[in-house]
Amino acid sequence: MLNPARLLACIILAAPPAWAALPFAVAPVKYQMADTGYSTEATVEAVKQSTIAAQVAGRVSAVNFDAGDYVKAGSVIVRLSAQELSSAVAGSRAQVAQADATLANARANYERQQQLFQQKFISQAALDRATAEFRAAEAAARAARAGVGQTAAVSGYTVITAPYSGVVAARHVEVGETVAPGTPLMTGFDPKDMRVIANIPQYKLAEVKASPRVAVEIPSLNKWIDAAGVTVLPSADAATHTVKVRIDLPTNLEGVIPGMFARAHFSVGSARKLTIPSSAVVRRSEITAVYVVKDDKVGLRQIRLGTPNGRGQVEVLAGLNPGDVIALDPVKAGIYAKSAANQPAK
């Protein structure tokens, strides 16, 4: 015959907890091994980002792309109209024709003088003079041809092409504007390759260099990204005594754009911490809290949090104890907390 006390214990163990029927998921608070380290603010930037500027003076005749457009490498993004460059190219070609004619005449004279010298009809001085004129004509012809090449190259600067495939970040000119050399025309970046720039105090440099892992948090996207690589620049800022760190991100990240605010989390070890999912936290003004489930009742409890980690967990410094049950969906828990089912019985 089964012992009554043992039977009661079995019934208690088999009975589901009171919060099992709640319309949202819950989980007990417990200690877990979590990363420890140093966190700092950072900024997202593109590995390839540049502003294309005019190399010659001229009038903008065409702007083929606008901000937000995707541009393939080699595509014409801006055209300039520079009439004086066309005239300069024509003038250079005319100088080449003139120099070629002078060279042909000097060569013919040099050859005649050579024949006359061999027949002893002229002196060595006369031959030397003809030779010098021929060499000078050759040099003038080479200079004229070089001038044509340079003028043609400068004329090519009126057609501005994309140096790499990417997205237009800003358009700085409109059709009809007159630009000078150095005037910004268009800014673009390659969205495939992004990185994060962080400044760390120099006293943290040794820890960061020894850090085996780095995670990047993008708060606006609620996204955590494991770094693909870390480069510590070999110089410090004399004013702030900080060192710049470049954190490479994986390629083709959705939604990550230059200028975004980020946080860099450098892991230098691990420790046993009381953690909860970051998604369970309720933030109202300056209050940080979670919905705690006790029996079948739900209540909001204020807590104090520590540093989050890359696994979507955040350390609890005060307000919760191991074994407390919290709601994983604060929205549904908040609705339930205001419902009649959560009100005390009269």
Of these ranges, 33-47, 152-166, 175-189, 196-210, the one predicted with the greatest mean pLDDT is 175-189
Contact of 77 with 160, CB cutoff 8 Å: yes
Q: Is the pLDDT of residue 13 over 60?
A: no
Question: What separation in angstroms does the CA of 190 have from each of 63, 137, 167, 194, 258?
Answer: 20, 51, 6, 8, 10
For the domain 83-156, what is the CATH code?
Answer: 1.10.287
Contact of 224 with 199, CB cutoff 8 Å: no
Q: Is the pLDDT of residue 327 over 90?
A: no
What share of the chain in percent tops pLDDT 70? 79
Contact of 162 with 74, CB cutoff 8 Å: yes
Contact of 219 with 263, CB cutoff 8 Å: yes
DSSP type of residue 60: E
Q: Taking the C-alpha atoms of 187, 190, 194 and 200 in order, what is their torsion angle to the nearest 10 degrees?
A: -30
Q: For position 123, what pLDDT does the model report?
A: 78
CB-side exposure of 304: number of CA atoms within 13 Å? 2
Question: What separation in angstroms does the CA of 163 have from each of 166, 187, 188?
Answer: 9, 11, 10
257/263 Cα distance (integer angstroms)? 15
pTM above threshold 0.75: no
Q: For residue 341, what pLDDT band results from cuts at 50, 70 and 90?
A: low
Bigger pLDDT: 36 vs 179:
179
> Domain boundaries in the chain?
17-46+193-342, 61-80+158-189, 83-156
Closest CA to 195 of 233, 168, 236: 233
Q: Which class does domain 61-80+158-189 fall in?
A: mainly beta
Q: Which class does domain 17-46+193-342 fall in?
A: mainly beta
Average pLDDT of the chain to the nearest whole number: 79
Q: For residue 70, what pLDDT band results from cuts at 50, 70 and 90?
A: very high
